Amino acid sequence: MAVERTRRALVWMEDLFGPYPYPQITNLRRLESGGTEFPMLIMNGSASEGLIVHEIVHQWLHGILANNEWREGWLDEGFTSFVTNWYWEAQGKTDIWASSIRAAVQREGEANRQPVATPSAEFRDPAIYSHNTYTKPSLVFRMLREMVGEPTFRQILRAYYQRYRFQHVTGADFQTVAEQVSA
């Protein structure tokens, strides 16, 4: 079952960004919960399709488009969370964004906020880090997709991949591509 989930996620990602450039991917089941990724390897603490998809997305948004998670965690985890939710949308899950929106509304109403672009080590607590690194940026990417339209957003992703694969990327690199493609 995990093999089929991995294959389905790989095909979807290749359609979104471009070809998977490595000769293989190995999906290992690890003892601890959670997951992690390295080029050609994902390690998952369960057979959950959501976890597998999230770690597969990291093959592109970290393994091919190498971002610095310590400086711009949102570009790694937030972008990956957005693409993971988009995958679920494509599978027919229409309510996939509801919990993220509720969390953002609640968190944004609190006094204890920090900017998304805060370096990881400078977040005041893990809850703010998690929200600003995973949830809020995923919603911002979704808003951008809705603003420019899905076909244009797909063009942005493919251009970003073509221009920067196997390089270190920054949020400014993504912004430049998005502005050029959507102009």
Q: For the segment 86-96, what is each residue's pLDDT rounded down to a tens digit?
A: 999 999 998 99
User: Count of CB atoms within 10 A of residue 150's CB?
Assistant: 11
Give mean pLDDT, residues 130-139.
95
Instruction: Dump pLDDT digits (tens) for 58-80.
Output: 999 999 999 999 999 999 999 99
Give mean pLDDT, residues 152-160.
98
3-state secondary structure of 27: strand
Q: How far apart are CA 25 and CA 23, in angstroms?
A: 7
pLDDT value of residue 124: 92
169 compared with 113, residue with greater pLDDT: 169
Band of pLDDT at residue 17, cut at 50, 70 and 90: very high
For residue 79, the number of C-alpha atoms closer than 13 Å in the C-beta half-sphere is 26
Give mean pLDDT, residues 109-136.
91
Q: How far apart are CA 178 and CA 157, in angstroms?
A: 8
Query: Would you state the torsion angle of the CA atoms of residues 126, 132, 136, 138, taken in this order, to the nearest 10 degrees?
Result: -100
Count how many residues are written for the chain: 183
pTM higher than 0.75, yes or no?
A: yes
Domain 2-182 in CATH 1.10.390.10: yes
15 pLDDT above the threshold of 80: yes
Q: Whose CA is closest to 49, among 92, 10, 9?
A: 9
Band of pLDDT at residue 101, cut at 50, 70 and 90: very high
